[in-house]
Amino acid sequence: MSVNDLQLLNGKPVTAFPNPATESTLIKFYTVEQKNVISLVNSLGEVVVSTEVKTYGEQELNFNLELSRYASGIYFVKIESGSNIAHIKLVKE
């Protein structure tokens, strides 16, 4: 999985910008679920941080993921929206 691989969630693209990132990245995805979980996973497969985001109805979500306290390296953003799951490779500089 490269940084530029297109991931879909609920039939729409999932993006992280900027990527590579230094301080934070904006995760954008479309959801039809009320409960969404965004997790940052390190290269060892350990969940570094996980946040539940609640929504009301269909919408595009913009979630700012703060990265400043984490070491440089390769991470994966895991987005769970109901039974749908997407992963984005994220480089932290």
Whether the Cβ atoms of residue 59 and residue 31 lie closer than 8 Å to each other = yes
Note the pLDDT of residue 2. Answer: 47
Whether the Cβ atoms of residue 93 and residue 24 lie closer than 8 Å to each other = no
What average pLDDT does the segment 61-77 reach?
Answer: 96
- Domains of the chain, earliest start first: 7-92 (2.60.40.10)
What's the order of all strands across the beta sheet hosting 12-17? 7-9, 12-17, 24-31, 59-66
One-letter amino acid of 72: S
Q: Per-residue pLDDT tens for 18-39?
A: 999 999 999 999 888 889 999 9
CA–CA separation, 40 vs 55, rounded Å? Answer: 20
Q: Per-residue pLDDT tens for 34-58?
A: 899 999 999 999 999 999 998 887 8
Place of tokens 């941080």: 49
HSE (side-chain half, CA atoms, 13 Å) at 60: 10
